[in-house]
């Protein structure tokens, strides 16, 4: 991927409604015709830790695999303490690192929209709530790109572990400046649903097997029972 052209190869199921041609084969698309959230974030530089006080974290980005846009894990270095806040803040700062850009990866999460992430306590310790700014969901040109970005966030959160003996986060909910927000899920060949809480399972069909499986928990969570509405992706 270069600064002037974007190789946009997207499966037809993810292209619905995005305004890009639904071709049967890959081709180069002028970046001027690509919606902001498919091209813009990839040109932004993600924060990278330097010096001695750095630690490795795992975040999820978007890559083209087998002719489809899929979710892939990648390792980054960050400075200072590693916790749920700093890991998610790194992803949601937007952009990609130099090596990620050279590998053709993209970050569809709009930058600087995270307000807070809070982990539940007691019986709710395996849950997390992500609160975003009012404009977060309006920054997506298409619902397919929103699904991918939400999947990036959910997989990054559920892949994080504070220690070897701590429980992983199994489900994630979203809110917009404190108001609960339903988010779209993805099941290949099925209509998408808007759910109050989502898990790894809701985006597993977009997931490419992690390059370092030992660092990323397997997607074993089940979808929590929640009211949902149906929409097409």
31-72 pLDDT, tens digit per residue, is 333 444 444 444 667 877 777 788 999 999 999 988 899 999
Taking each helix axis from N to C terminus, what angle separates 36-43 and 143-158, rounded to the nearest 10 degrees?
50
Q: What CA dihedral angle connects 142, 205, 153 and 172, to 10 degrees?
A: 110
- Of 18-22, 121-125, 178-182, the one with minimum mean pLDDT is 18-22
219 or 189: whose pLDDT is higher? 189
pTM: 0.73
State how far the Cα of 106 lies from the Cα of 44, in Å rounded to an integer: 10
Span 143-156, pLDDT tens digits: 899 999 999 999 99
Helix (H, G, I), strand (E, B) or coil at 227: coil
Whether 1 has a pLDDT exceeding 50, the answer reads no
pLDDT of residue 47: 75
- Average pLDDT value for the chain: 76
User: Does 170 score more than 70 pLDDT?
Assistant: yes
Tokens of 16: 């619905």
**Predicted local distance difference test score (pLDDT) of residue 66:** 85
Q: Tell me: pLDDT of 202 over 60.
A: yes
Domain layout of the chain by residue ranges: 6-231
Question: Dihedral sign, CA of 27, 31, 33, 36?
Answer: positive
Neighbours of 167 (CB within 10 A): 9
Q: Where are the beta strands (DSSP E) in the chain?
A: 6-7, 28-29, 54-65, 68-79, 114-119, 127-132, 171-176, 179-181, 183-184, 192-195, 197-198, 228-231
Residue 192 has pLDDT above 50, yes or no: yes
Give the pLDDT band of residue 209 (cuts 50, 70, 90).
Answer: low
């Amino acid at each position: 991927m270069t600064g002037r052209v974007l190789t946009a190869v997207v499966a037809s199921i993810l292209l619905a409604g995005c305004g890009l041609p639904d071709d049967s084969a890959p081709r180069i698309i002028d970046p001027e015709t690509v919606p902001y959230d498919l091209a813009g974030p990839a040109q932004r530089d993600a924060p990278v830790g330097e010096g001695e006080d750095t630690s490795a974290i795992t975040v999820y980005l978007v890559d083209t695999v087998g002719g489809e846009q899929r979710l892939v894990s990648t390792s980054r270095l960050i400075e200072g303490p590693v916790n749920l806040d700093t890991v998610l803040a790194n992803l949601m700062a937007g952009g990609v690192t130099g090596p990620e850009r050279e590998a053709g990866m993209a970050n569809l999460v709009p930058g600087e929209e995270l307000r807070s992430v809070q982990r539940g306590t007691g019986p709710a310790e395996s849950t997390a709530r992500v609160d975003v700014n009012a404009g977060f969901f309006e920054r997506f040109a298409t619902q397919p790109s929103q699904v991918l970005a939400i999947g990036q966030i959910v997989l990054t959160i559920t892949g994080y572990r504070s220690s070897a003996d701590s429980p992983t986060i199994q489900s994630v909910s979203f809110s917009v400046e404190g108001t609960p927000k339903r988010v779209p899920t993805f099941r290949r060949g099925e209509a998408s649903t808007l759910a109050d809480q989502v898990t790894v399972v809701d985006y597993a069909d977009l997931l490419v097997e992690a390059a370092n499986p030992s660092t990323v928990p397997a997607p074993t969570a089940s979808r929590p029972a929640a009211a949902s509405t149906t929409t097409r992706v």
